[in-house]
Amino acid sequence: MLALLSRDLRLAVRAGGGFGLSLAFFLILTVLVPFGVGPDPARLQAIAPGILWVGALLASLLSLDRMFQLDWEDGTLDALATAPVPMEGVVAMKAAAHWLTTGLPLTLAAPVLGVLLNLSGPGRGWLALSLLVGTPALSLIGAFGAGLTVGLKRGGLILSLLVLPLYVPTLIFGAEAARRGAEGLAAGPVLLLAGAITLACLAALPYAAAAAIRVNLR
């Protein structure tokens, strides 16, 4: 399984595609927001946690359709299905690779981009923490969506339609924790709720995603 993880990571870094692309997207989105809502620092500060969370969510959506698509096209997924590793494990590793190449960089970039939106120091810390807790759920949910749509010719569009509503609880708790942190309120309990969602996704979604992939391989 670790071999699988390192293979995916190497492929992601070598191909370059998703890795840099989602970060660049995140940056551009953050730069565009002030053009849309005006440069007033107080207003930017108020919306910064939410904007950065939505931005991170959309950025992690970008590379989802590639998660299984390439392996499906060249038959690697069929080989993996007959490999001794269970499909659930394959899905978990794919999600982990996706998180390491998008979720983690986004988490690290978010505090820096928070400066652009006039986010306070503790606010930047809470934002990074909430993203660290919440983004694994985004990758896992994304793995489920990617598993459902892997056999489709134009799965990308329908993938976002399926996955975005599933992101709602994570977004609510994650962004709420970041907002409360930025405003100096107690953010801990909300963060725990976001963590609970992530853990529940980790426990359940690899099974659902693996079931979907098995259907698609039939």
Partner 1 sequence: MSIWEYANPKKFMETSGRILPWAAALSALTLVPGLVWGFFLTPDADRFGSTVKIIYIHVPSAFVAINAWAMMLVASLIWLIRRHHVSALAARAAAPVGMVMTLIALFTGAIWGEPMWGTWWAWDPRLTSFLILFLFYLGYIALWAAIENPDAAADLTSVLCLVGSVFAFLSRYAVYFWAQGLHQGASLSVDRAQHVADVYAWPLWLSIAGFVLLFLTLVLVRTRTEIRARRLSALVARERME
- Between residues 124 and 179, which has the closer beta carbon with respect to partner 1? 179
Smallest separation (angstroms) from partner 1 to the CB of 201: 9
* Cβ at position 141, least distance to partner 1 in Å: 8
* Contact of 136 with 104, CB cutoff 8 Å: no
Minimum CB separation of residue 208 from partner 1 in Å reads: 5
By C-beta, is 100 or 164 nearer to partner 1?
164
Shortest distance (Å) from residue 23 CB to partner 1: 27
Residue whose C-alpha is closest to residue 178's, from 127, 212, 213, 135: 127
Q: How far is the CB of 189 from partner 1 (least distance, A)?
A: 10
Query: Of 23 and 212, which has the nearer Cβ to partner 1?
Result: 212
Nearer to partner 1, 12 or 143 (CB): 143
Residue 156 Cβ vs partner 1, minimum distance, rounded to whole Å: 11
The residues binding partner 1 (CB under 8 A) are: 144, 148-149, 151-152, 155, 158, 161-162, 164-166, 168-169, 172-173, 176, 193, 197, 204-205, 208, 211-212, 215-216, 218
Q: Can you tell me which residue has the tokens 């927001």? A: 33
Q: Of 1 and 215, which has the nearer Cβ to partner 1?
A: 215
Q: Dmax over Cα atoms in the chain, in whole Å?
A: 57
Quote the CA–CA distance of 102 and 20 in Å, as a whole number.
8
Of the pair 27, 58, the CB lying nearest partner 1 is at 58
Burial label for 173, CB within 10 Å (0-12, 13-18, 19+), is buried
Alpha carbon 110 to its chain centroid, in Å, reads 13
**Pair 181, 126: CB distance under 8 Å:** yes
Burial-class residue 211 by CB neighbours within 10 Å (0-12, 13-18, 19+): middle
Chain-centroid distance of CA 134 in Å reads: 8
Distance, CA of 45 to CA of 47 (rounded, Å): 6
Q: Which residue has the tokens 């909300």?
A: 190
